[in-house]
Structure 1
């Protein structure tokens, strides 16, 4: 019940309906006040003379003094109720007794001979002829019926109004879904622009915004790729020239820096190649043993077998072996770099389950704050921008791992607890 009330309270359609109802009541109130103040003052000037003339004709028919026989004859000809109060007592043309005390002048109109009987809900014109008082009933209020049908009709009108308002705002659903797609990076998605109203224009503007963002990101990627390609040639020439000079500690440091730059360029080109719309055609899938691949990677990163605890189920995988190997190498390298070996080794769990390769890598590092987790796979993102290359890398490794997993029809998810460590979950489709 609370959730329903909260949903209605936050519903745009419900708010608009309430505003419409409030506006309607305000209009009715203004109209009522207008007629109450304006029409009441005009009653004596406009309607009362006609009523008095009609009253005079009726009194002429009743005679002077009025008799009950003439009153009965007149009441039988016209839809009137005539009351007589004289020495003989009270008399009513319809046989219904009316006490004189119940007839009172209404507050409006003023200075008129208009009376009202609250019991019969009639208005009466009054005349005195000697000792005889005459009351001629000129109208009768309609009988009050039950309020059930009226309430049902009002509820039906409100329900139809709410449905129409909901239908009016129906385009907000595809707009919201489209914005969610854009936030996931799917800028090829398009929001339908069937409507020609403001919401249709909004959908068109959001699509235009998505095109602009996609164009800017594409230009950024193209620039990055162009720079990466252009740097390969001077990088290769530098490595060749380095081999031709006398080797020492300085040249060894230069060689390491050149190798790091070459790795960085390779990761940039590889990630952009796999992010292509036809990434599945780039993959070179082949069958291989999962256990053999894991031992190959861990043997190079942990020759002594003390820093990585391997828990794997052997199975035959149909995946791009070099790229899966690169993924494992990057993730295990990160885990070993941040792991506190005195607490325990890095955990590597791998198995084939339900048509997927499932890999979980956990360390006992310092952990990562929650606000950084969603950004870890962004290119060049670093939790601590001041970190050095040897401790923090360039910020492309996790991004490349995510791209490799997604190219294989899977994904990468990171969980971390400050002070306890981090776990990376990888899923890749085997088919």
Structure 2
């Protein structure tokens, strides 16, 4: 069975061309110009044909009739074949003679006029011969002048190409505006849209440049606010934690439970503020990564060694993996959150969590899997949402506030990749493919 070609969006070829025509302003303008030229040509040709068929036909008929009479008189009676041959050779006409003595035709392969045309293109001589005239060999047939039609068609096509080139040049600022909007959307404000002309499109490009500078100023102000907020909130939290640690410890005559609870709450507030600030930075498409060549396998071992409860984590790290251009601190945050999540939900599991690094697709595939109870399939799509937790009661014993997986998703997106979450049965598997080269802006 023959399959129809379809593009990435599922459109067939005719649908794709219709979409392209409807999307392209150039193609629609050229179509309008072409249809306008065809309509004007059709109207002109129809009007001229109407004028010649009505007025000029009546005006030319007596002239042609008089000319036919003179030609027949020149042939003689009975018609002289020599004169007829000379006349057919000299003029672009064909002659047929029918009669009792002479039956001759100058162009045997041509069918002469009949019907209404024979009334004024045929004559009868005194001796009973009928002379019929018709079109002969046109001078430009079979000569270099026959290329006039092709030259005319070539000129028409040239005019069409010229019109397209002019429209393309006229609308070139739209390409610049589109490319500039894409750069601004990625946070690249250093290259403004070039101002090629001083018309309305040039004015639009200038206004978009002004808008981009305003957005850049707002983003810079927002970043400054985040930094100031981070400093102003962390400083009093640090002082409060220090004062809480100076309280008497357990067994020294004070209330150890209140002291431990205060320290725990202060630590959670500190982590929450850090996660919120980092998620705000990464959620913006203008987040700046400090990329450097990173040995991902060595970084996984380092993170596992620094975590108190990660000694049991199984490491399946392939040898000879290429270094990747990554933001070390943020990838470290991602690995720590994924391992901590796997350890939290592996309590009582048959096997400890496993971290795997394998070459795949020209990059490195990272997978962190636990062997716990897994997650309800209806909740998989929500695991990377901010403040989402699978336990509806949000009990403190499970730890965290629901930002860990969200931060992991943001770190992956900032590096040009995506988290994939699936039930591995048993357990939950989280994987992402680190590209060998950073995506180009």
In the superposition, the TM-score normalised over structure 2's length comes to 0.60
C-alpha contact 1:174 1:191 (8 A) present in aligned 2: no
Residue 382 of structure 1: how far off its partner (Å): 4.7
Whole-angstrom CA distance in 2 between matches of 1:31 and 1:370: 70
User: What pairs with 1:411-422 in structure 2 (closer than 5 Å)?
Assistant: 413-418=418-423, 420=425, 421-422=428-429
Q: 1:127 aligns with which of 123, 128, 141?
A: 123
C-alpha contact 2:422 2:430 (8 A) present in aligned 1: no
Residue 419 of structure 1: how far off its partner (Å): 7.0
Task: Give the number of aligned pairs.
Answer: 395
Please list the CA deviations of residues 389-431 of structure 1 after superposition, one character each: whole Å capped at 9, or x if unmatched.
Answer: 8568456545655787899xx66641122575232447599xx
Q: 1:221 aligns with which of 220, 223, 227?
A: 223
Q: Secondary structure at the match of 1:47?
A: helix
Whole-angstrom CA distance in 1 between matches of 2:43 and 2:380: 55
Q: 2:315 aligns with which of 305, 310, 314?
A: 310
Whole-angstrom CA distance in 1 between matches of 2:389 and 2:41: 62
Calculate the aligned-residue CA RMSD, in Å.
6.0
Whole-angstrom CA distance in 2 between matches of 1:19 and 1:370: 53
Map of 1:335 onto structure 2: 342
Residue 346 of structure 1: how far off its partner (Å): 1.9
Gaps of at least 5 residues in structure 1 are 107-113, 117-123
Whole-angstrom CA distance in 2 between matches of 1:427 and 1:350: 10
Please list the CA deviations of residues 183-242 of structure 1 after superposition, one character each: whole Å capped at 9, or x if unmatched.
Answer: 6x3434747647658887887776666555544444433333332222234434544565
Change (3 A) 1:258 1:291: closer
1:265 matched to 2:273: yes
Change (3 A) 1:60 1:393: farther
Map of 2:115 onto structure 1: 105
C-alpha contact 1:289 1:315 (8 A) present in aligned 2: no
Whole-angstrom CA distance in 2 between matches of 1:315 and 1:69: 102
Q: Secondary structure at the match of 2:420?
A: strand
Change (3 A) 1:45 1:236: same
User: What pairs with 1:183-198 in structure 2 (closer than 5 Å)?
Assistant: 185-188=186-189, 190=191, 193=194, 196=197
Q: 1:345 aligns with which of 340, 352, 357?
A: 352
Q: Secondary structure at the match of 1:228?
A: helix
Q: 2:237 aligns with which of 224, 235, 242?
A: 235
C-alpha contact 2:352 2:370 (8 A) present in aligned 1: yes
Whole-angstrom CA distance in 2 between matches of 1:340 and 1:225: 38
Q: 2:290 aligns with which of 269, 279, 289?
A: 279
Whole-angstrom CA distance in 2 between matches of 1:148 and 1:42: 31
Change (3 A) 1:195 1:325: closer
C-alpha contact 2:315 2:355 (8 A) present in aligned 1: yes
Whole-angstrom CA distance in 1 between matches of 2:369 and 2:187: 30
Residue 75 of structure 1: how far off its partner (Å): 1.5
Greater strand share, 1 or 2? 1
Map of 1:120 onto structure 2: none
Please list the CA deviations of residues 350-403 of structure 1 after superposition, one character each: whole Å capped at 9, or x if unmatched.
Answer: 5899xx997532235327779958x94x9x575889884856845654565578
C-alpha contact 1:358 1:425 (8 A) present in aligned 2: yes
Whole-angstrom CA distance in 1 between matches of 2:367 and 2:341: 13
C-alpha contact 2:303 2:336 (8 A) present in aligned 1: no
C-alpha contact 1:291 1:314 (8 A) present in aligned 2: no
Map of 1:110 onto structure 2: none
Q: Secondary structure at the match of 1:262?
A: helix
Residue 126 of structure 1: how far off its partner (Å): 2.4
User: What pairs with 1:30-45 in structure 2 (closer than 5 Å)?
Assistant: 30-45=43-58
Please list the CA deviations of residues 287-331 of structure 1 after superposition, one character each: whole Å capped at 9, or x if unmatched.
Answer: x96686245234x1346x3xx333347999999987765443222
1:75 matched to 2:83: no
Map of 2:306 onto structure 1: 297
C-alpha contact 1:363 1:422 (8 A) present in aligned 2: yes
